[in-house]
């Protein structure tokens, strides 16, 4: 999730200053590198956040128009060479981009045969060269951009400029937000409204497959086919801070609501549904080695650890490979039995978690093949593992991890399919998993649409001082994750428990003031879960259930029910965790806490 910002004016303002101010308000969208271009002064790039770029801009850097970018890396490490904007061979066409161009390798190969030379390792650069190629026969910048975009497959929020038409900026959207700002004698393009609102409240939101051509006094919107679109401007009442959060009260809620997009980005280009295969480019270099491995040790901390526990069930049941899951903070203090036929798989949102990094290093010392599931391109874990899978979830600002977990579980499902097909999983089973993965975004959205009911439920239980979460099999780790979310942002006692362990101690805690949240979707252990719920009900404990849509009989057991769509059992945790995240969010908000910044906690734990 990169930050894009473009500006063109006839009012005598210095576009460079406007663009830099805008980048500062977009910093939550990326901080790997930053760059700026104006037709008058050229381009400057810097590794790091916008402040690093500001320090490099010399006095006199000027423009009547320009584009600027904050990068969250997806292809290519965070370097000045890979920072945006990217240019064509002539230095006349410049592009900034948020998203992933899936067919960039094929486009790059074609362009190289036509004589184009590339300077970066990014997917974005191909677009600048495509526009350059079309400008050879189509002299109109807008038409050349439309032709180029029709060759691109993937997701994008784009802004581009051409020195031959310097007051014009082209913007385009496909799966990645783009908004136009309409001012007096000036126009803006941005990845969200936050950098625009200090200049104008009049905006137009592009829809997928639309391209905007703006000048200081006009804007025209086209479909990719070239037909024009008419759309009235909207007046926004949000302030700039609220705009960064997409109008939501907190980043945590915004990130929960991004769940459908996160799953789409994680699986995009990675499923061959007709063949029942997962294509993971990050594992191609070690594909043969993976087929020889005897077992997997998954290491992670906090939410990533619970993702790993869920992955253990996926991998053992469907890929047929033994899996152990270890707390990364304990792994290197043991004497783990690791050899050259062991995979040590690290899961980390930031890719910088020190305990997880040290666990990987310990695995390497003992001869293991090391893999990573990480969200940050170029992070230390991404660099030090032998191979891996990127989440493509975008930056996660809220300290309590939400969308990263949804992405991690989706990536583990892809890995399960990848390894399973190596080890005898049938094409039929692979297709079943692929179809279910593709259905997840719509199913998550259906859960998100019930958030008002979950909010009422949280309000009902807000005075509880203790909470128990129970689950079995795939939902055993999700029970622990649900409890973790509640305690880390609301500061009350909450604990997870395998439902089968209730009679071995935890049942002693249950009374009329001790609520239990039972994850009881219709799966292979549903009858067992129903029995555990009966044990709680017999002791007059308040019961909330997460249940599959259509299960009315559960209302006889539970005081309150959150319904979720049904999917295949291995993917059900991805759906079940969403109402748990929403419940924790609304619970903490009812108590008046800073949901995004819980006390005593940091987003990335880089010390022991």
Tell whether omega for the bond before 85 is within 30 degrees of 0, i.e. cis. yes
Which residue spans within 349-421 are E strands per DSSP?
369-374, 387-390
Q: Which sequence positions are flagged as catalytic?
A: 2, 603
Which residue spans within 336-483 are E strands per DSSP?
342-348, 369-374, 387-390, 466-471
- CA-closest candidate to residue 372, choices 436, 441, 300, 318: 300
Residue 435: burial class (beta carbons within 10 Å; 0-12, 13-18, 19+): middle
Contacts of 439 (CB under 8 A, 6+ apart): 567
Q: Side-chain half-sphere of 193: how many Cα atoms within 13 Å?
A: 24
Residue at token pair 């500006």: 7
Residue 181 phi, psi dihedral angles, 5° rounding: -110, 135
CA–CA separation, 452 vs 376, rounded Å?
33
- CA-closest candidate to residue 156, choices 189, 200, 117: 189
CA–CA separation, 3 vs 25, rounded Å?
9
Residue at token pair 């981009």: 97
Residue 569: burial class (beta carbons within 10 Å; 0-12, 13-18, 19+): buried
| Total residues found in the chain within this entry | 608
186-190 and 387-390 strand pairing: unpaired
Segment (H or E) for 33:
strand 33-38
- In DSSP terms, which residues pair with 234 in a beta bridge? 203
Residue 378: burial class (beta carbons within 10 Å; 0-12, 13-18, 19+): middle
**Running DSSP on this structure, what letter comes out for residue 175?**
B
Q: Hey, what are 58's tokens?
A: 């010399």
- CA-closest candidate to residue 393, choices 378, 380, 379, 374: 374
Q: How many helices (H) and strands (E) does the chain have?
A: 19, 27
Torsion, Cα 564 566 570 572, to 10 degrees, reads 0
Q: Under DSSP, is residue 501 helix (H, G, I), strand (E, B) or coil?
A: helix
Residue at token pair 């290491």: 299
CA–CA separation, 45 vs 35, rounded Å?
4
- Helix, strand, coil content of the chain in percent (nearest 5): 40, 25, 35
Contacts of 185 (CB under 8 A, 6+ apart): 9, 10, 11, 216, 217
Distances (CA, A) of 28 to 96, 175, 286, 395, 552: 17, 19, 34, 7, 43
Residue at token pair 């061959």: 272
């Amino acid at each position: 999730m990169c930050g894009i910002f473009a500006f063109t004016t006839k009012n005598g303002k210095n576009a460079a200053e406007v663009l830099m101010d805008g980048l500062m308000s977009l910093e939550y969208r990326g901080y790997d590198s930053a760059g700026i271009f104006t037709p008058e002064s050229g381009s400057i790039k810097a590794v790091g956040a916008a402040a690093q770029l500001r320090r490099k801009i010399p006095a006199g850097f000027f423009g009547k128009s320009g584009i600027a970018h904050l990068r969250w890396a997806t292809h290519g490490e965070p370097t000045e060479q890979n920072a945006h904007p990217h240019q064509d061979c002539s230095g006349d066409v410049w592009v900034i981009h948020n998203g992933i161009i899936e067919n960039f390798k094929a486009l790059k190969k074609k362009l190289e045969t036509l004589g184009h030379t590339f300077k970066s390792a990014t997917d974005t650069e191909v677009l600048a060269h495509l526009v350059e190629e079309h400008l050879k026969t189509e002299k109109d910048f807008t038409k050349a951009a439309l032709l180029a975009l029709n060759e691109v497959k993937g997701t994008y929020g784009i802004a581009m400029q051409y020195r031959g038409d310097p007051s014009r900026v082209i913007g385009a959207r496909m799966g990645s937000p783009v908004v136009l700002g309409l001012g007096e004698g000036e126009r803006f393009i941005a990845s969200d409204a936050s950098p625009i609102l200090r200049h104008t409240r009049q905006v137009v939101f592009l829809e997928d497959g639309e391209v905007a051509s703006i000048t200081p006094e006009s804007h025209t919107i086209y479909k990719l086919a070239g037909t024009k679109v008419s759309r009235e401007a909207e007046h926004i009442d949000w302030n700039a801070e609220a705009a960064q959060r997409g109008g939501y009260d907190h980043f945590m809620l915004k990130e929960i609501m991004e769940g459908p997009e996160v799953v789409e980005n994680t699986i995009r280009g990675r499923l061959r549904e007709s063949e029942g295969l997962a294509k993971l480019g990050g594992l191609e270099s070690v594909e043969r080695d993976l087929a020889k491995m005897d077992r997997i040790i998954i290491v992670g901390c906090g939410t990533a650890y619970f993702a790993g526990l869920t992955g253990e069930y996926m991998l053992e049941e469907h890929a047929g490979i033994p899996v152990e899951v270890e707390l990364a903070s304990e792994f290197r203090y043991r004497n783990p039995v690791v050899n050259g036929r062991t995979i040590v798989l690290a899961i980390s949102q930031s890719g910088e978690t020190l305990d997880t990094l040290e666990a990987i290093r310990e695995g390497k010392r003992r001869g293991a093949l090391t893999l990573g599931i990480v969200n940050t391109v170029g992070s230390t874990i991404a660099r030090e593992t032998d191979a891996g899978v990127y989440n493509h979830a975008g930056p996660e600002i809220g300290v309590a991890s939400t969308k990263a977990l949804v992405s991690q579980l989706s990536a583990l499902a892809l890995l399960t399919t990848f390894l399973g097909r190596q080890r005898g999983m049938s094409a039929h089973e692979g297709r079943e998993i692929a179809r279910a993965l593709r259905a997840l975004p719509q199913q998550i959205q259906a859960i998100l649409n019930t958030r008002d009911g979950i909010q009422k439920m949280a309000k009902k239980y807000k005075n509880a001082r203790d909470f128990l979460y129970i689950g079995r099999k795939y939902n055993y780790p999700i029970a622990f994750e649900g409890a973790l979310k509640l305690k880390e942002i609301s500061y009350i006692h909450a604990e997870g428990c395998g439902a089968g362990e209730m009679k071995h101690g935890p049942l002693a805690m249950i009374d009329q003031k001790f609520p239990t949240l039972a994850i009881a979707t219709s799966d292979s252990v549903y009858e067992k879960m129903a029995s555990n719920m009966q044990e709680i009900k017999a002791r007059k404990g308040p019961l909330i259930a997460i249940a599959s849509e259509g299960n009315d009989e559960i209302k006889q057991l539970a005081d309150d029910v959150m319904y979720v769509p049904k999917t295949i059992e291995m993917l059900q945790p991805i759906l079940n965790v969403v109402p748990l995240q929403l419940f924790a969010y609304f619970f903490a908000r009812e108590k008046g806490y800073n949901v995004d910044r819980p006390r005593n906690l940091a987003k990335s734990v880089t010390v022991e």
